[in-house]
């Protein structure tokens, strides 16, 4: 594609316009308080990085023309109750919005061209499998909807590697080319006006005295959580399962005068991640620093990248290398990962062409700001009669955060965790008008409702798991979120506070 600023209005009425690159977070700050404002944030992307690395595009969407929600068992379309489940409603809307023409496949254009985007909570699994309802009611900090998706006709897309930015405006839900062209231009004009203002974000303020560690409350003591882990191990030796992903809940309140978006900015500095995001759902916010891709498809090829195996980062280069080597040499962690790879191969085979499911990377070490992980990559080719929603239904929720066999593992999770997971271990992402889909696994994520914050951390339990080690792993995974809440400023390699 020509490197000069790109602008094209298509015959069907939609437009794609390149605009000068700027800081996505400062643009998002202008709309962050709007209902269903959405940031899909490749927070690890850097100029001129290897294009094969995860994380390149950041997207901003706001003011959807249609809203799909599910709360307390009731699915709604624009607030009107519906007699279908959330995933069926999603499928209906995807079919209704198949008005969008085929999008150009020129190099450099964004994979997300507007479409259906938002959050799929873990409990949507109850629409796919017969699963028990959690025995305890949600706490105040877990009152997020089970499902919240908007249909976005106009979005901003930022290529954070090549430093390019685009307005994509479809003119939907208008049908005629003339009406679509008028709406597409009017909607694009609103983003141009916002971009023209675009005030810089204020510098993050880190308190001299962070809030105490007691500001973040763990659901369990060490002893009570280790007892839960032992119960999982007992189920394994009884032959019920091979692995289950158990988690515990943490609760806190906003500290240091922060609001939810300031907290997200701090989390982004402490723990940048390729599949991060911020979503203002109808009565709260979802903040994510997820390192894990769930499902990606361009309409034909499919990719999933499960994470299993974790070590904290070391405080010195030597200690960091030792921890990474310990992870890559761990038979226990590799066994966890391989079990989930087999599960996902099976899930993908249900909607993929025969013989197309391949493991392209197995137990590859990937290092993030606060942890090392083992990451595998499985790819396949989608059958011609299957859609991205079929793919989602075949694989949801992700095997890396359930266990194997999947359904029995989810039953045990429900029994031992007791409360609904909500967004945790669900997914945040998009299904584009152009046929592409990209979603994360909602780990390293928290919900804010009012001043209340809830998040979870967990890990895969297998036969040779040590309860004390598994408890420590939950604390390692929770550390970045707890530090962001408390206001613990990260220290760069030069000894100075990091900033954003």
Q: Residue 186: is its pLDDT beyond 70?
A: yes
Q: From CA 432, how far away is CA 441, in angstroms rounded?
A: 18
**In the chain, pLDDT over 90 holds for what percent of residues?**
82
pTM: 0.94
The verdict on residue 213 lying in a domain is no
Q: From CA 139, how far away is CA 318, in angstroms rounded?
A: 42
Length of the chain: 500
- Work out the mean pLDDT of the chain and round it to a whole number: 92
Residue 235: which residues within 8 A CB-CB, separation 6 or more?
Answer: 241, 244, 412
Average pLDDT on 322-345 reads 96
What CATH number is attached to the domain comprising 477?
3.60.120.10
Active site residues: 292, 308
Find where tokens 């392209």 sit.
Answer: 360
The verdict on residue 50 lying in a domain is yes
Residue 346: which residues within 8 A CB-CB, separation 6 or more?
Answer: none
Q: Residue 464: is its pLDDT beyond 50?
A: yes
Find where tokens 């008005």 sit.
Answer: 99
How is 424-437 classified by DSSP, letter by letter?
A: TTSEEEEEETTS-E
Looking at residue 179, its pLDDT comes to: 94
Number of H helices, E strands in the chain: 10, 25
18: Cα separation from own chain's centroid = 26
Q: Residue 235: is its pLDDT beyond 80?
A: yes
Contact 267, 483 (CB under 8 A): no
Looking at residue 500, its pLDDT comes to: 52
The b-or-e profile of 86-101 (16+ CB within 10 A means b, else e) is: bbebbbebbeebeebb
**62-112 per-position pLDDT tens digit:** 999 999 999 999 999 999 999 999 999 999 999 988 755 556 556 678 999
Could you tell me whether strands 445-449 and 38-41 are parallel, antiparallel, or unpaired per DSSP bridges? unpaired
Average pLDDT on 155-172 reads 95
**258-294 per-position pLDDT tens digit:** 999 999 999 999 999 999 999 999 789 999 999 999 9
Looking at residue 2, its pLDDT comes to: 46
Find where tokens 């992700």 sit.
Answer: 398
The structural domain count of the chain equals 1
How is 321-335 classified by DSSP, letter by letter?
A: HHHHHHHHT-HHHHH
Q: From CA 23, how far away is CA 157, in angstroms rounded?
A: 11
Looking at residue 327, its pLDDT comes to: 97
| Dihedral sign, Cα of residue 383, residue 387, residue 390, residue 394 | positive
CA angle centred on 481, ends 475 and 483, rounded to 5°: 90
The verdict on residue 99 lying in a domain is yes
**5-26 per-position pLDDT tens digit:** 777 777 677 899 999 999 999 9
Q: Between residues 176 and 141, which one has the greater pLDDT? A: 176
The verdict on residue 319 lying in a domain is yes
The verdict on residue 317 lying in a domain is yes
Looking at residue 54, its pLDDT comes to: 75
Whose CA is closest to 344, among 400, 290, 389? 400
Average pLDDT on 479-497 reads 77
Whose CA is closest to 54, among 373, 342, 343, 280? 373
Count of CB atoms within 10 A of residue 495's CB?
6
For residues 130, 132, 133 and 139, what is the CA-based torsion angle, rounded to 10 degrees? -130
Average pLDDT on 211-232 reads 97
Looking at residue 143, its pLDDT comes to: 77
**51-68 per-position pLDDT tens digit:** 666 789 999 999 999 999
Residue 182: which residues within 8 A CB-CB, separation 6 or more?
Answer: 13, 171, 174
Containing domain of residue 471, as a range? 7-203+219-486
CA-atom Rg of the chain in angstroms = 22
* Residue 366: strand, helix, or coil: strand
Average pLDDT on 414-427 reads 96
């Amino acid at each position: 594609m020509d490197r000069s600023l790109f602008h094209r209005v298509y015959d069907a009425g939609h437009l794609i316009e390149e605009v000068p690159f700027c800081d996505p977070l400062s643009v998002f700050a202008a709309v962050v308080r709007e209902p269903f404002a959405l940031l899909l944030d490749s927070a690890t992307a850097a100029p001129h990085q290897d294009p094969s690395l995860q994380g390149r595009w950041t997207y901003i969407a706001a003011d959807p023309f249609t809203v799909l929600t599910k709360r307390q068992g009731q699915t709604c379309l624009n607030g009107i109750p519906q007699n279908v489940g959330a995933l069926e409603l999603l499928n209906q809307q995807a079919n209704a919005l198949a008005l969008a023409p085929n999008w150009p496949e020129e190099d450099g254009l964004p994979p997300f061209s507007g479409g259906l985007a938002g959050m799929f909570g873990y409990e949507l699994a109850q629409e796919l499998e017969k699963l028990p309802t959690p025995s305890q009611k949600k706490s105040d900090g877990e009152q997020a909807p089970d499902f919240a998706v908007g249909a976005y006709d106009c979005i901003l897309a930022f290529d954070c590697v090549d430093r390019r930015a685009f307005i994509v405006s479809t003119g939907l839900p208008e049908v005629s080319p003339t009406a679509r062209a008028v709406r597409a231009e009017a909607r694009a004009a609103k983003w141009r006006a916002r971009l023209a203002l675009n005030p810089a974000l204020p510098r993050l303020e880190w308190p001299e005295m962070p809030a105490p560690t007691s500001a973040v409350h763990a659901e369990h003591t060490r002893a009570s959580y280790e007892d839960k882990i032992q119960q999982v191990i007992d189920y394994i030796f009884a032959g019920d399962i091979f692995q289950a992903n158990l988690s515990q809940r943490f609760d806190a309140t906003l500290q240091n005068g922060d609001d939810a978006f300031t907290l997200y900015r701090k989390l982004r500095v402490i723990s940048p991640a390729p599949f991060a995001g911020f979503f203002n759902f109808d009565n709260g916010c979802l903040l994510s620093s997820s390192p894990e891709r769930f499902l990606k498809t361009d309409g034909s090829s499919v990719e999933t990248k499960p994470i299993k195996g974790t070590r904290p980062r070391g405080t010195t280069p030597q200690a960091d290398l030792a921890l990474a080597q310990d992870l890559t040499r761990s038979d226990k962690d590799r066994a966890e990962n391989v079990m989930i790879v087999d599960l996902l191969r099976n899930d993908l085979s249900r909607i993929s062409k025969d013989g197309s499911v391949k493991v392209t990377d197995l137990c590859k070490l990937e290092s993030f700001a606060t942890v090392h992980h083992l990451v595998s990559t499985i790819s396949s080719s989608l059958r011609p009669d299957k859609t991205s929603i079929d793919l989602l239904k075949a694989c949801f929720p992700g095997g890396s955060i359930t266990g194997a066999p999947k359904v029995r593992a989810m039953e045990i999770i429900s029994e031992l965790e007791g409360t609904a997971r909500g967004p945790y271990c669900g997914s945040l992402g998009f299904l584009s008008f152009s046929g592409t889909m990209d979603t994360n696994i909602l780990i390293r994520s928290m919900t804010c409702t009012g001043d209340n914050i809830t998040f979870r951390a967990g890990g895969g339990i297998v036969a040779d798991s040590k309860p004390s080690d598994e408890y420590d792993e939950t604390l390692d995974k929770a550390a970045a979120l707890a530090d962001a809440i408390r206001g613990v400023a990260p220290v760069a390699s030069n000894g100075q506070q990091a900033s954003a």
